[in-house]
Amino acid sequence: MKKNSTKNNRINSEVQRALSSIIRTVKDPRVDPFTSITDVSVAPDLKTCKVYVSVLSDDGEETLRGLTSAEGYIRHELAREVNLRNTPELKFVLDNSISYGVDMSKRIDEVIAADKRAQDARGENVENGPDEN
């Protein structure tokens, strides 16, 4: 089975949907309630699965430890929800792309605000750009 086959894409989306609901039932206090599954990559042989996890709080490493500790429970529930030949071994990976995007957006806003203040201080027309001679 190819890595980008239709079947593999369907399996990835079904496993992601199931894991998203399962992690809400994990009772480990280390698992942040604002944890989401951003992506899932199941190997073509269905033996392993990388689960990309995003955490809204700053304590992502602690959440990963809690999820790794609860892997047996999560795999058991995954086997009950998704009918696969093999239930893959789960490897949780912290995905910082959402927090990185928010941070970059803040930086862009700061640069735009600083540029606007500099243009206002020089007396340039902000809407039309610098005056052309």
Task: Please choose, from the candidates 28, 29, 10, the residue with its C-alpha nearest in 3D space to the C-alpha of residue 18.
Answer: 10
pTM summary value: 0.72
* Strand 48-55 to 35-42 pairing: antiparallel
Domains along the chain with CATH numbers: 6-96 (3.30.300.20)
Residue 121 is predicted with a pLDDT of: 86
Q: How many beta carbons lie within 10 A of that of residue 37, not counting itself? A: 20
Residue 1 is predicted with a pLDDT of: 45
pLDDT in tens, 59-75: 788 999 999 999 999 99
* pLDDT tens-place values along the chain, 133 residues long: 455 788 889 999 999 999 999 999 999 899 888 888 999 999 988 899 999 998 887 778 899 999 999 999 999 999 999 988 889 999 999 987 777 788 889 999 999 999 999 888 887 655 555 555 4
Report phi then psi at 109, rounded to 5. -60, -40
Residues with Cβ within 8 Å of 77's Cβ and at least 6 positions away in sequence, in order, are: 18, 22, 25
DSSP per-residue letters across 41-90: EE-TTSSEEEEEEEESSS-HHHHHHHHHHTHHHHHHHHHHHS--SSPPEE
In 4-105, the DSSP E strands lie at: 35-42, 48-55, 89-94
Are the CB atoms for 74 and 19 separated by under 8 Å?
yes
Residue 10 is predicted with a pLDDT of: 92
